[in-house]
Amino acid sequence: MNGIHPWSMPAEREAAMTTIKEKEHEPMATLILNGKSAQLPAVREAVSACRKAGTALDVWVTWEAGDAVRMAERAGREGAARVIAGGGDGSVNEVVNGLMRLPAHARPGLGILPLGSANDLANALGLPLEPGPALEAALHLPLASVDVPRLDGRYFLNMATGGFGAEITSSTPKSLKRLLGGGAYSLIGALKAWQYRPYPVTLRWAEGEREASLFVLALGNGTRSGGGQRLTPAARIDDGLLDVLILRDFASLRDMATMRRELQRRPGAGAYVETFRTAWLSVESRSELPLTLDGEPCHRRAFRVDVEPGALGLALPADCSLLSGRSTGQPAHAAAS
């Protein structure tokens, strides 16, 4: 398979090609690796070990934003049975968007090699975080059918956030995220809390409609965002539904304390906290609303989010806490993985 930005590892690649000839029945896996992680010794050792063990693994390295989207689509069209996203939550998001360009029956299975600063999705899924075990898991764990939400034309796998939380995530410098990991979000949040502004919005979904002065909005397919914040702890990645969290504007420290107590009593509704589940949600804002999709920033005045149930096969441990049990075995489009 001719890759884009192929990883230059002559000896390992030659060994891998020999293995392919010996095991032509074994489908190819493609690792799409964030360029910033390509030279990490632990990553190179993990790839080398997998190839020496006989795994047919191609490695493509990204150069700029959007590469992983194009590479994932190309890998699927060229017959990869499994595509592995090597990077942070943003890299996973790009790979998902590339795979979702393919017809459902032609989508490879997805594996995750977490190499970011927060790795919110991988942490929530209970995946290994060290490169060696993580790559083995991404290649060999069974696939479970998982939902993929869509915000207008963009997909996300873990969570979309809006309001103050999204503003924190989008304004945190990447250098600070690398230095402090998930703690960078807490630091930026503390620095910005005194100057935040609420966002008046109208929310509509199948069972209701709500006007709200929004502090934070979270639409969870997964449970964690922003460096470990469990915004939607009851979310399941295969139930066909979004877990919605609304935090309303507050005026005083006493109100903030009330909001924190209500958060601890979830699920339910209170003066400042509301949670519910829905297959779709539309939002209209009076001003540009800061958003993140799997941590990647954007802005919208109006948008709609829909869930595509069982749209991808994801390599997961059988005891993953984000599985509801509604998945009906291996997805048809990934049967060859």
Indicate which residues carry an active-site annotation.
296
Side-chain half-sphere exposure of 182, counting CA atoms within 13 A: 14
* Interacting residues of 323 by C-beta distance below 8 A, sequence separation 6+: 144, 236, 237, 238, 316
SS3 271: coil
Q: Name beta bridge partners: 33.
A: 61, 86
Q: How far apart are the first and last CA of the chain?
A: 17
Query: Scanning the structure block, which residue is given the tokens 């969870």?
Result: 220
How many helices, marked H, and strands, marked E, lie in the chain? 10, 15
Query: Token digits for 81?
Result: 């049975």
Q: 90-100: string of b/e by CB count within 10 Å (b at 16+)?
A: bbbbbbbbbbb
Q: Residue 188 in contact with residue 172, Cβ under 8 Å?
A: yes
Q: How many C-beta neighbours within 10 Å does residue 198 have?
A: 15
DSSP per-residue letters across 170-197: HHS-HHHHHHHTTHHHHHHHHHHGGG--
Alpha helices in the chain (DSSP H): 10-22, 41-52, 67-77, 89-99, 120-125, 131-140, 164-171, 174-180, 183-192, 253-264
List, as one string, the DSSP characters of 230-252.
ESSTT--TTSS-EEEEEEE---S
Location of structure tokens 């993580």: 134
